[in-house]
Chain A
Amino acid sequence: MKKAIEINVNGATHQHEVEPRMLLVYYLRDVLGLTGTHVGCETSLCGACTVNFNGQAIKSCTMFAVQAAGGSVTTIEGMAEGGALHPVQEGFWEKHGLQCGYCTPGMIMAASQLLVRNPDPSREEIRHGLDGNLCRCTGYQHIVEAVEYAAKKGAG
């Protein structure tokens, strides 16, 4: 039986009736059309689906949409406020922190939350902070530099 939920996504409130088993990521993608959040494993291991939920970076492939009811979600589409890139987005562009781009939205969401927790992380802290997000293209080095760039810009 469908359940009524209300979720704030990127500053706008949405009300829908969804199956209890609908994953948050499919709610974002299929119901709201926010396809910037990707699915890479459906098991919380790759991080491609990372979004910000109530201030925490979470894997939206292992959370039900009904669990997110009443909460506030920021997706990659909500990062560039007023069209200006978030410093982490800027860092990824400047430092070539992406190649195929599939892990990138999740990486950016995880990195931006990492910088909120730790505004001036060491390289090692950045690497550990991003261990929940897999990238198969970049070898991570340019991602580390992208996050350093964002930290210098005061992203945290």
Chain B
Amino acid sequence: MREKFVGQRLKRTEDPRLIKGLAHYVDDIRLPDTLHVAFLRSMYAHARITNIDTSEALKSPGVVAVYTGRDLGEKIGPVPCAGALPGLKVPDHRPLASEKVYFVGHPIAAVVAVDRYAARDAVDLIMVDYEELPVVVDPEEAAKGGPVVHQKFGDNVAYKLTAGEGDIDAALGSADHVIKQRILNQRLAPIAMEPRGVLARYLPGEEELTIWSSTQIPHLMRTQVALMIGIPENKLRVITPEVGGGFGSKLNVYGEEALLGWIAIQLGGKPIKWIETRRENMQATIHGRGQVGYIEIGCRNDGTVTGLRYNVFADLGAYHQLLTPAIPTLTGLMLSGCYKIPAIQINVTGVFTNKMATDAYRGAGRPEATYVVERAMDLVAAKLGLEVVEVRRRNFPAPDEFPFKTATGLFYDSGNYEGALSKALENADYTRLRAEQKTARENGRIVGIGVSTYVEICALGPSQAMPAGGWESATVRIEPTGKVTILTGASPHGQGQETSFAQIAADELGVAIEDITVIHGDTSIVQYGIGTFGSRATAVGGTAVFIAIQKLKEKANKIAAHLLGADAGGIAFGDGSYSMQEAEAMAGGEVPQPVVPVGQAPAGALPEPESNGKKRVTIQDVALAAHLGKELPPDTEPGLSATYFFEPKNFTFPFGTHIAVVEIDRETGDIEFQRYVAVDDCGRVINPMLVDGQVHGGIVQALGQALYEEVVYDELGQLVTGTLMDYAVPRASMIPWLELDRTETPTDVNPMGVKGVGEAGTIGATPAIVNAIVDALSPFGVTHIDMPVRPEAVWKIVNQRS
């Protein structure tokens, strides 16, 4: 038997084109005669547009057309929102503003010109008269009666939602202690390194529109954009070339995507392109998080938690993007953390503000929940004077309590929380760390240790829980020459599924990695799919690949038996070949050579499949026979291909423990990491190197939230953090060495036991870091501090309270 590829640290097959600079992102696609689009965007957070004069812009050299919101009217349908909550107020959201602007960056007009410079020049010549209107920025103020964003609704409350099970009032009422804390999850900007970009081309003869877009969801985008611009869905082809990062920001349908498609049709043939600038990306690509919440946690004297209530104001921004109102519902689902909490209640007030929409940013509602729960557990420990690890242990469900039902209505598939925790404690040498901390404190140093034991919700998800379906699709086919083609409906963009899916197929089909090509992100080539987000591509999309292969092998088995002159039950598959059972026994596990070496056939001629009289045929022989169609069993369809749409029966629930050790500089308030230890359990691992990469990236984004990042609007709604100078994305020197490890608890939600790992870092790390800082500052009477924890705030605590 050859060694399995699944589980190996295999180098990525997608890398050569990327490291040579030969890959194609949207802006790298060059079509002759391409026109360029630039947008005029609102400089005010809330204003009435009293006049727009485009006459000078139209005269500017190289300008082909200028479109305003008034030109468009209702020709393009509203930007879609899939988060249909009961009673949700939905403002009419069109690609261009016509009467009013609602946030800085709100698109007002689009200029089409011969190149990007000419388009930008003309934008400056559009004259807009604004009448400024009152602005509301703070979500709590917005909820309680500040200026109203959308006059027709009367107030800013887009929806209210209460969820959770158990008698929360009784649970808190009967608790020995109830601890309350206001807690912030600040607004963040996803900052994919590649900004958004759209290229659209219409072929008037074929009546076909092609949109190349940097998106995580090509098929869902195709459906929505076709509806928005009123063309048949099968006349729209969406191609997602290389995508330079998404993190949820490209899990959306944006007005620009529909508008470019619509303009391409109006212009009747010339391709048009829009590449977002970074400033536009900060202003008008979705933000994440944005929750102001109030925790009430009840506990007994022994540290057992009796109930948790979270009243939260969700800062939605001015409009709903695809999932805007739904994100806080994910927070509600995850409020049990990895603990037995008998009563949980979330009360969400979703509020409009004069800001860009919030939506899914890596973790999407779950980092918020984990931060709430993990801060709350530390508050309990502080209140009772208990060790933070002990409080967590006292509330864990035991491994034999799975599937574990939470008071938020979920069934956690599998877990061994103590296993991950004790491994992390061991790796960190926790007991020694605490002893060292004691000594350090005695010497006047400010050292803190933070622990977070998290669980997350991955593999999104069962279709019942997902607005547009939660399955994923795969087609696997073996071509006449024996090459394997995989079409996945997931649309990976850096996660490495071209490699990990090939690993799955190589094992299952016994073929070489080099013989497998994974294709994604082209709606004309790939069957309908959902996309890559919610840590789902491998757990759901990879499972679809796995099961499609099993289907394909059922057919291959019948053909192979026919070729060998055996019963279907009388042959066995191993190492890429079908052989007679008794022959298999005689071969004694020897690795068979391919009967027909691929590539040795005479030019232009397909080899004849070896069959009768043989005791073994390769899967490639079977594929060739299936395509030639001459030697098939009766009633067998020619061809060798299988498609499977996998519907998961549940989410998956990966978990782990993160431990951060920090030291604070008394003179400057700077926070320096001493250690960072993580043990993550994402179920079965297909490629450990890719899993480590996902965890690293997630932890660093979490670190960004904990210490550096915040989207700041001033009181007039101006975006203060409008460039990468003002918005602090972590740089290489700001990051500690990350010490990773794993436990592996499989799930029965899918046959490979894979859980998903894309968001673990952003979920587990933020509270570990903040808990470490609070622990460091606990001698100064600190029990909570809000993110991002800036040196200034820390310095004030250290120097004004000591």
Contact B11 A134 (CB under 8 A): no
Query: Quick one: given A100-B244, A137-B693, are A40 and B195 in contact (CB under 8 Å)?
Result: yes
Cα–Cα distance between A143 and B737 once the two chains are bound (Å): 12
Query: Quick one: given A93-B12, A131-B731, are A101 and B18 in contact (CB under 8 Å)?
Result: yes
Cα–Cα distance between A58 and B20 once the two chains are bound (Å): 19
User: Is B38 in contact with chain A by the CB < 8 A criterion?
Assistant: no
- Binary interface encoding of chain B residues 495-516 relative to chain A, with 1 for a CB under 8 A from any of its CBs, else 0: 1100000000000000000000
Cα–Cα distance between A143 and B493 once the two chains are bound (Å): 18
Neighbour of A134 across the interface among B692, B729, B733, CB < 8 A: B729
B496 contacts across to A, CB distance below 8 A: 99
**A63-104 at interface with B (beta carbon < 8 Å):** 75-77, 79-80, 85, 89, 92-94, 96, 98-104
Most chain B Cβ neighbours within 10 Å, of A80, A140, A144: A140
Cα–Cα distance between A135 and B191 once the two chains are bound (Å): 10
Cα–Cα distance between A39 and B697 once the two chains are bound (Å): 21
Neighbour of B22 across the interface among A36, A41, A133, CB < 8 A: A36
Neighbour of B193 across the interface among A48, A94, A142, A144, CB < 8 A: A48
With both chains docked as a complex, state the minimum distance between the C-beta of A128 and any C-beta of chain B, in angstroms: 5
User: Is B402 in contact with chain A by the CB < 8 A criterion?
Assistant: no
Contact B20 A96 (CB under 8 A): no
**B1-42 at interface with A (beta carbon < 8 Å):** 11-12, 14-16, 18-25, 27-28, 30
Neighbour of B737 across the interface among A40, A45, A128, A141, CB < 8 A: A141
Contact A36 B278 (CB under 8 A): no
User: Is B378 in contact with chain A by the CB < 8 A criterion?
Assistant: no
With both chains docked as a complex, state the minimum distance between the C-beta of B706 and any C-beta of chain A, in angstroms: 14
Query: Quick one: given A40-B193, A43-B725, A141-B735, are A89 and B19 in contact (CB under 8 Å)?
Result: yes
Contact B689 A46 (CB under 8 A): no
Contact B20 A131 (CB under 8 A): no
Neighbour of B692 across the interface among A46, A85, A96, CB < 8 A: A96
Cα–Cα distance between A89 and B693 once the two chains are bound (Å): 17
What is the interface of chain B mostly: helix, strand, loop, or mixed? loop
Cα–Cα distance between A22 and B278 once the two chains are bound (Å): 18
B690 contacts across to A, CB distance below 8 A: 96
User: Is B454 in contact with chain A by the CB < 8 A criterion?
Assistant: no
With both chains docked as a complex, state the minimum distance between the C-beta of A137 and any C-beta of chain B, in angstroms: 5
Cα–Cα distance between A92 and B275 once the two chains are bound (Å): 27
Neighbour of A136 across the interface among B19, B245, B278, CB < 8 A: B245
User: Is B192 in contact with chain A by the CB < 8 A criterion?
Assistant: yes
User: Is B732 in contact with chain A by the CB < 8 A criterion?
Assistant: yes
Cα–Cα distance between A93 and B247 once the two chains are bound (Å): 22
Can you list 5 residue pairs at the A/B interface with Cβ under 8 Å? A42-B277, A76-B20, A101-B14, A102-B244, A139-B700
Of all A-B residue pairs in the complex, the 7 with the closest CB atoms, nearest first, are A36-B21, A102-B244, A100-B494, A76-B21, A101-B18, A139-B696, A139-B700
Given contacts A35-B24, A100-B193, 11 further A-B contacts (CB under 8 A): A99-B697, A100-B493, A102-B245, A128-B733, A136-B701, A138-B696, A139-B693, A139-B696, A140-B700, A141-B735, A142-B696
On A, residues with C-beta under 8 Å from B are 19, 21-22, 26, 29-30, 33-43, 45-46, 48, 75-77, 79-80, 85, 89, 92-94, 96, 98-105, 108, 123-124, 126-128, 130-131, 133-144
On B, residues with C-beta under 8 Å from A are 11-12, 14-16, 18-25, 27-28, 30, 115-117, 191-195, 242-245, 247, 275, 277-278, 493-496, 689-690, 692-693, 696-701, 723-725, 729, 731-733, 735, 737-738, 761
